[in-house]
Chain A
Amino acid sequence: MTLANFVPDARILRRIDWLLVGSALAICVIGIAFIWSASIRISQDTGDWAATDQPLRQAAWLGLALVALVVVIIPNYTWLMRLSWPLYVLGILLLIGLFFVPPIRMVHRWYRVAGVLFQPSEYMKVILILALSRYLMYRENYRRLSGLIGPFFLAFIPLILVVREPDLGTAMVFLPVLFALLYVAGARRKHLIAIILCGLALLPLVYFFVLHDYQRERVVCFINPSNHMKNMYAGGFQVMNSVCAVGSGGLAGKGWSQGPQNLYGFIPADLTDFIFAVLAEEWGFLGSILLLVLYFIIILCGLGIARSTREPFGRLVAVGVVTMFASQVVINIGMTIQLMPVAGLPLPFMSYGGSSLLSGFIALGLLINIGKNRVPVFADEDFK
């Protein structure tokens, strides 16, 4: 690692994928707007409607996240290759350490550092991408079946820790990232299919020994929504209200900060996991599609960067980051509109929460960093 790695270069600005940054920032701005809307409640002091300070805090986090973005963009990403293993070990230790501090809101999900909540699992997602990419950049590691055992260990250690926190939603992101990286890195198709079949066979074990009672109930509730009474207790009430909010938005929505489902508190966890329902209610179908398009732009840009990067570590990291964003978006919105069981996880760049925003921008920074170092590709197959 030379000093040159850290010296900013004016030409850097021209090589940044501004469409990518712009989309992410647009989502952030929309996010803060809807955090504002979602935080409007009746103040107990004045008896009047008022927003809380949460949108401002989110804006502050956004400032911090932008700083992190710049810090991540400036050096060449390749130095992270060497940091992958130490970071992975640190991440695992932090996740284990969670069980040794008193639970916050009855779960082992956060550290409280100077009054601010710090959620290691959000960073672990990025760290896992780095570690997996570091491992899979070597051909011999993924062409043999025995070589695939490593990535599974890498992914499943944090996954099980996160499930036990419990935080099923975040853990659910680890699997698509693992499989996308294995697939894109070039693992044999028959190996992957065999693994997926094994995974399906193991699902009952996971269901009975890894999941918590309430998580099992949610799965049952999703599979068999006819048992209404039971569903009320298993998140069915949340989903019912969230679907109602989304549907009532109609084509153009009820207007920002005008959605009664939101204002009167019918959307559960409206600042965090269900922020999409607030947007869908107040901006309607058009706003929802706009948001999906913005996410899709990020995904396309990310995959474009991966495609035009020859260096194996970088392109795998890019694929990992894209998969992480995409799976979070699909799982989060899918659960909001009852396409999936309820599993709390944040919508990238939208949901209220510092750790999520910060880790999102770090991941975005990695993507941009990889993108700025790419060279035009003349032949797709020249690095096979």
Chain B
Amino acid sequence: MFTHRLKVLLLFIAVPMLVIAGKLFYLQILRGAYYRDRSEKNIAYRELLDTRRGAITDRTGVPLAVDSVEYEVCVYLGRLERLDDPRAWCEGLATLLGLTADDVVAQVKSVQDHVDDLAARAPDWRRKQDLQYLRRRPQPLFTGVPTDGVKRLELGQDRLPKYVQGDHAYPVFLIRDTSERRYPQGSLAAHVLGFMGPVNNHEYNELGYRYSYAGDEMKKFFPDDLIGRAGIEERYESVLRGARGHLYALRDVHGRPLPDQPSSRDEPHPGQDLRLSIDSRIQRFAEQALDEQIARLAADTRAGDPPLCGAAVFLDPSTGDVLAAASSPRFDPNTVQEDYGKLRVDPRMPFFPRATQGRYPVGSTFKIVVATAALEEGLINGYTEFTCHGTFPAGDRTLKCTSAHGTLELTAAIEQSCNVYFWNTGLIVGAKRLKTWAERLGLGARTGVDLSDAAGQVPLGVSRGDVLNLSIGQGAILCTPLQIARLAGCIGTAGKLAEPRFSLDKPVRVEFVDLHPDRISALRRGMHDVVEGSRGTARNTGAVEGLVYAAKTGTAQTPRADIYDSWFAGYAPFHSPAVSFACIIENTHEHGGVAAAPVVQRVFSRMMLDARLSKYFSDQEEQE
């Protein structure tokens, strides 16, 4: 019996040992490759090296968006509390940072409270461990520490007490880089620049930004990363975004680097700086003029009026450089995260980039297109006359002109913005040719600018009424300020239709519309007279001392009878256009000459007074 029971006992020992051998076979032979791979990953240590986002400057180098250099001093609470004399450490830190010891002690206390508070939110079974974890992690103590403070801290860190465990001495604090995107000019060109926001789930997962961005694995996103959310920041994300670097090393289980182990670095590549076509000074003038004008017009508004908004675009017509693209109201990209809730529900829609995306009825400004079409097609010439009695029959209705202008040639019709003249002309040109010429001059299609812009629309009039409407820019036609500024530039340069650009890196692309300066000279003279002529619609509000320029006003009707979208578009100087522009004031009671022209007038006046900016106008003349 004893021997039998010994055999059973042997069985009880041998079977578990066989099971062990079996599991060893499974782990080491069958799954050996998997675990070998995992063990290598255990040791390989990869540290990300942060990089900087490219700066955005205006065409003269004025910084518009930069990464600020700021640091954060963090504290290891667990280590601090195990020091013999935590107070001494606080005093030492205070000296290095130029604070009082009480400040530091109070700050440490608040960090402790914060950590306790965080841990208290954890589920029961994890609370203790969470607290331990948080106390082992560096917790931010002081944020926004400038570079010199950090340098003092780094140099003086040996004077601070350290936490000693075994034969290691660990520092109690940690310096972290907390650089941020800053917009030093505040809200200047906010709609052009855009702003940054955290990458969202869709981009991160579905679009695969977690693996790579713009084909570059080093540009991939991490969950807290910011991504350009609008404007240039969004459009040129792949250019501005820097590639992180890597530090590859072997580390032990505590994350300490190992001696005589190969380590290699992939240096981070900062994002490319971007120089914009924007001239920050013109941009500022434009924004100020627009804001001032809107403020002035606001005095006349009545309760229940839709909000006054506006936009102004200034272009270099021969290159397409956008010198200024102002929209009002604006936002401050520095504080957009905090203000977002408020801005989002603002009925004036401060986020809406009106200069490039606002689609407006153009009103009389469209007469430029009608005149160009008629002249170029040879349907009228500068001496063609129509007589305005103040009304125009259209079927069973009678259309009204602004006044009875009498018998006019084209130049005077433009100058005084006579509707009757253009109704007649529009009927001669016809729906098809109107549409063709509008499109040829860049309306109804996206301009190709390097920001998202709207296409607007050019309708094909089917009835006589449609044609009449279109002839004075009413009805279904919608254009953006950018399109109109470009159109004006095309007239001024007699055919240069440049693709607008915000980045100076974007190649200049100019299309040539077949316009002959002689054929459209009557139109140009008319636009000249709008500002300079005795009866011009902007004669009192547009004229700038020392600058001769051409423009056309426009006053588009909106669904409400007494509310207009008022335009002022043209080019300057008259003889050698260097700047073309379009300005719109939404929802005003005034017509284009009163509402919009003063904005441009003020911008040009200030440009003329500015030594550098006045050369925009004079240089061109010297060249001629």
Does A289 lie at the interface of the complex (its beta carbon under 8 Å from any beta carbon of B)? yes
Return chain B residues, CB-CB under 8 Å to A333: 20
Return chain A residues, CB-CB under 8 Å to B152: none
Return chain B residues, CB-CB under 8 Å to A48: 259-260
CA distance A241 to B252 in the complex (A): 13
Return chain B residues, CB-CB under 8 Å to A230: 125-126
Residues A42 and B129 in contact, CB atoms below 8 Å apart: no
Return chain A residues, CB-CB under 8 Å to B17: 292, 295-296, 326, 329-330
Which residues of B481-508 have CB atoms within 8 Å of chain A's CB atoms? Answer: none
Does B10 lie at the interface of the complex (its beta carbon under 8 Å from any beta carbon of A)? yes
Shortest Cβ gap from A263 to chain B (Å):
8
Residues B20 and A337 in contact, CB atoms below 8 Å apart: yes
* Chain A contact patch, size range: 35 or more
Does B49 lie at the interface of the complex (its beta carbon under 8 Å from any beta carbon of A)? no
Closest B residue by C-beta to A337: B23
Does A28 lie at the interface of the complex (its beta carbon under 8 Å from any beta carbon of B)? no
Which residues of A202-259 have CB atoms within 8 Å of chain B's CB atoms? Answer: 229-230, 233, 241, 243-251
Residues B25 and A285 in contact, CB atoms below 8 Å apart: yes
Does A261 lie at the interface of the complex (its beta carbon under 8 Å from any beta carbon of B)? yes
Question: Given that A229-B126, A288-B28, A384-B1 are known contacts, is A266 also in contact with B42, CB under 8 Å in the complex?
Answer: yes
**One of A247, A251, A264, A284 near B34 (C-beta < 8 A):** A247
Which residues of A320-351 have CB atoms within 8 Å of chain B's CB atoms? Answer: 322-323, 326, 329-330, 333-334, 337, 339
Shortest Cβ gap from B36 to chain A (Å):
4
Chain A 34-66, CB within 8 Å of chain B: the 1/0 string?
000000001011011100000000000000000
Shortest Cβ gap from B14 to chain A (Å):
8
**One of A45, A250, A319, A326 near B28 (C-beta < 8 A):** A250
Shortest Cβ gap from A142 to chain B (Å):
12
Does A383 lie at the interface of the complex (its beta carbon under 8 Å from any beta carbon of B)? yes
CA distance A243 to B35 in the complex (A): 8
CA distance A304 to B228 in the complex (A): 79
Question: Given that A184-B9, A285-B28 are known contacts, is A260 also in contact with B39, CB under 8 Å in the complex?
Answer: yes
CA distance A42 to B126 in the complex (A): 33
**One of A180, A307, A322 near B3 (C-beta < 8 A):** A307
Residues A285 and B29 in contact, CB atoms below 8 Å apart: yes
CA distance A260 to B131 in the complex (A): 31
Does A367 lie at the interface of the complex (its beta carbon under 8 Å from any beta carbon of B)? no
Return chain B residues, CB-CB under 8 Å to A264: 42-43, 250-253, 258
CA distance A300 to B29 in the complex (A): 27
**Total interface residues in chain B, CB < 8 Å:** 47
Chain B 496-540, CB within 8 Å of chain A: the 1/0 string?
000000000000000000000000000000000000000000000
Return chain B residues, CB-CB under 8 Å to A383: 2
Residues B1 and A186 in contact, CB atoms below 8 Å apart: yes
Return chain A residues, CB-CB under 8 Å to B40: 260
Shortest Cβ gap from B80 to chain A (Å):
22
Counting chain A CB atoms within 10 Å of each CB, the highest count among B38, B129, B167, B168 belongs to: B38
**One of B6, B19, B24 near A288 (C-beta < 8 A):** B24
Residues B32 and A42 in contact, CB atoms below 8 Å apart: no
Return chain A residues, CB-CB under 8 Å to B5: 183-184, 186
Residues A261 and B1 in contact, CB atoms below 8 Å apart: no
CA distance A69 to B6 in the complex (A): 25
Shortest Cβ gap from B501 to chain A (Å):
53
CA distance A333 to B247 in the complex (A): 37
Residues A384 and B2 in contact, CB atoms below 8 Å apart: yes
Question: Given that A44-B168, A285-B24 are known contacts, is A319 also in contact with B6, CB under 8 Å in the complex?
Answer: yes
Does A299 lie at the interface of the complex (its beta carbon under 8 Å from any beta carbon of B)? yes
Does A315 lie at the interface of the complex (its beta carbon under 8 Å from any beta carbon of B)? yes
Chain A 169-204, CB within 8 Å of chain B: the 1/0 string?
000000000001001101000000000000000000
Does A380 lie at the interface of the complex (its beta carbon under 8 Å from any beta carbon of B)? yes
CA distance A280 to B5 in the complex (A): 33
Return chain A residues, CB-CB under 8 Å to B129: 233
Does A132 lie at the interface of the complex (its beta carbon under 8 Å from any beta carbon of B)? no
Does B393 lie at the interface of the complex (its beta carbon under 8 Å from any beta carbon of A)? no
**One of A241, A250, A296 near B29 (C-beta < 8 A):** A250
A-B contacts, 5 of them at CB < 8 A, read A186-B2, A244-B39, A264-B253, A299-B10, A300-B10
Interchain residue pairs A-B with the least CB separation, the first 4: A247-B35, A248-B39, A250-B32, A265-B253
Which residues of B are interface residues toward A (Cβ below 8 A)? Answer: 1-3, 5-6, 8-10, 12-14, 16-17, 19-21, 23-25, 27-29, 31-36, 38-40, 42-43, 125-126, 129, 167-168, 250-254, 256, 258-260
Q: Kindly list 7 other residue pairs between chains A and B, CB separation below 8 angstroms, not including A260-B42, A280-B28, A292-B20.
A: A180-B9, A180-B12, A247-B28, A247-B31, A265-B252, A296-B14, A334-B16
